[in-house]
Chains A and B, each alone.
Chain A
Amino acid sequence: MDAALFDKLGLDPKAPVLQCEDLCISYYTRAGEIPAVMDFNLTVGANEAIGLVGESGCGKSTVALAIMQYMGKNGAITGGAVRFFGRDMTSMSELELRALRGSLISMVYQEPMSSLNPAMKIGAQLCEVPMIHEGLSRDQAKERVLEMLAAVRLPDPKRIFNAYPHQISGGQQQRVVIAMALLSGPKLMLLDEPTTALDVTVEAGIVELIKDIAKEFGTSLIYISHNLGLILNTCDKISVLYSGKTVEHGSVRDVFDEMRHPYTRGLFNSIPLPGADKNARPLIPIKGQMPLPTERPAGCTFGPRCDYFEEGLCNDPAPLKVSPVDAKGSHVVRCRRWDAIDWEAARPRRRQAEPPKIGAQVLEIDHMKKYYEIKDRSLMALIRGKASRYVKANEDIDFDAHAGETVAIVGESGCGKSTLAKVLLGLETATEGRVMLGDLDISNIPVRRRAPNEIGALQIIFQNPFETLNPAHTVGSQIARVIRKFGVASDPEEVRERVLKLLDTVRLPREFYERKPRQLSGGQKQRVGIARAFAGEPKVVVADEPVSALDVSVQAAVTQLLMDIQREQKTTVLFISHDLSVVRYLADRVVVMYLGHIVEQGSVEQVYAPPYHPYTEALLSAVPIADTSVKKRRIVLEGELPSALNPPKGCPFCTRCPRVIAGLCDVEEPPLKTLADGHQVLCHLEDQVFEEMEPVIALAEGYSG
């Protein structure tokens, strides 16, 4: 089939799979033409996996859509060529493109749910591909599809075949999309952030699948991601994009170990790799933020943010070409000063900062439980007399936090961490147990009944920077409201003075007082969110994934800011996160949650080193780490996260646990074991098994850091 199609489309099987030559892409808006991608060059050989990495707005998704020749109404390729097996795709007719799409080139999308037609059964959507491209009959197609569904390791392919997309989980949906992309044995597969919307352990499974299946089908990959760790895990080569241009390209090893562009260096400096330490070796954020496409500076677009910027050279408006770094020319950078920079000195350096002093106990959560009642109003439920069921969102939560301490609460979606935050903040009341803030039990005081200073003593930083501020009010008025509300100050002048001081504290210019939130970038909004949380001089701040929605380079700055303020004000921070790398970097103690239970807690050193709870073990293995010197043990969890409405009997983790003891774990609730001082796990495993556990993450010999 391939040979005939190659002939028909005039493709040369000996040519590289894909070649982008000086590709330029623009969007047309009211503001005029906005170049999204400029001078993009890329060659993809057979069986090669290439990673495109960059922050949001760098143009990486645009490249993918341009390769598919699907630019929408307002986008267009303004220059260069996209050659697929030697043939320029920009010259292809709609009919030729159609023959190509879905058969020789296919794509996997970021949001699997919206990428599948909600009104069509999965089987029908999949069968279309071979029926259109290979003219198979419905029955032949069905056979092929069922095979493929099994190949992407979906349980019970027949059931999935007859299901609608909304009836299966997000991870399964993404597997279906991957199956769809593979059905016609494509030569090139584009993956646009295929795991961003998924939980870490599910992500690990999908990445594993992609790696295996690309080898099995002989497909070349272009893997688009903002996550360097995932690229390291899946790709052979990597292109780093910044503001529409490739700034560095080379083999994964070269770029990760010997990066020669200040932006790449900056990216690596701002992600928490093993070995980074908030006291001894802090992250180094990149200053400033990515320019808007309409406001790109002349010369090097990274210039204004670069530590090695040289006036007259870097902002010379002459075209900035790529220069080879090594003799073969396989590693290139777009920088005029790359050979003038001392790359050893650019690594994060050790500094000796005093570790924060942990003070007295501030918050004590004592066997707290939170159940939600779900009323089932259907007739069947009435007849059976089971009109209400309980969701056990939090089961026996028990830990404490001290002044100046950072306690991280780690878990995937549905683990109950948000419910815990709600109970603390008084948006919900606990079903059982106590939550002591100082001498006050707040577990049953809803926020409306708390005194202003009590409310101010326990505040939150929200996850989504785009929702955290009310778009209708100015930044200043939103912070001022908090100050007045908590009774910190009431005199208008004094309030204003305090707001301005808070803006200083979060390192925002004072002019922001009058700004509306829409004029701020994500990182700036999050800073305002931090200012607001600290306005009432809180004792405890709950930080609900405060940086997970931000770009990598901004994340570091915001994290750093949060820790600096904490150090200064000796605040207790409850840091809720799913990102184990960030947690290791900044937490003092870690609480791991799964399905409403605390399965493990202890100091960072205790949790990140064996013995582990099996869930922690799997989580650690699932986190992608962008460091070539790290070796990981592979533990891929099977199955899906059980519903909190219908939790498994016995141990909550027993359905997915690789170390499950049949007949014990799925029957009896596990005991809480103390492995060391302050280190507890909720597990049935024998002490001996714990003792024999190997580390999941190992640094290679001679790692200097």
Chain B
Amino acid sequence: MGKIVYDVQYQTSMAFLISYYFYLTGLSAGSFMISTLSYGFGFEKFKPAGKIGVVVAVILLLMAPQFLLMQVAWPIKSVWNHFVYLNPVSAMTYGAFLLMLYPVNSIIYGIFMFKGNKKWTRIFGTIGIPLALAVHGYTGWILALGVARDYWNTGLMPIVFLFSAMVSGISMMILLIMIRDYFFTKSRDVNYDLIYSLAKILGWLLVVDLFLVFCDYSVLLYSKLEGQEVAHFMLFGKMFLGFVVLENLIGKVIPLVIVMVPKFRENNYLLILAAVMNMIGILAMRIVTVYGGQVLPLM
């Protein structure tokens, strides 16, 4: 309609540090879920993934908030003020509590697991599942409550975040279990039964994830102007490489084909490739969502 002669430059409020934080929390929540499949729900097949899952979940969740604290200008003040000046209607308030509760619960759960106490492992595993859902769901919720951005402001956002978390977590578990079994056991005997079961779960979660992306974009393309613009920006604009190619083609569609076709799935190299590609794709998803969602100016 016109040419801008003068306008100020807008600052980006959240970018890569927050994306990495979301990514690591997602990996942590995903590996915790795998860990509870045997110890919380009793699927004996997944027992070899239990201990490695909880160890990785705790390590990643101790790493993740470092990125958050780097993003915040006043890290120590931020921890203190979250408790002293608590605002119950802010999504970020709950994040502060969850980021403390979830690792503590995971550590207790891990200790009971390593000690072989089945009853308490199951109890803390069961408590951990809603916590893991919440600790990652809230990250999507934070974005969804950033009401100014049409790309974020959708009820699907926490669910999209949860599914991408589980997907990337399973990919990471597949890689880690292969590495552990091949390099750190005397027999070098990879537990293929477990790996293929995880790959099948990965496939179905990828189907749900792609379906959610389809729902989100089909609604955006029909919604009001700003929603349409941001959808075009993602699909055909500057985010094409990040969103279409890296996130969905490399990160989801190709891994989905590999894990769903038995011939490809049973080829180790292809399965490793699928898992790596999926992990890269989900990292791209975090960056595209956090950074790409707010790169378009509002006014």
Instruction: Please determine whether chains A and B interact with each other in the same assembly.
Output: no
Listed in ascending order, the chain B residues whose CB lies under 8 Å from chain A are: none
Where the two chains meet, the residues of A that have a C-beta atom closer than 8 Å to any C-beta of B are none
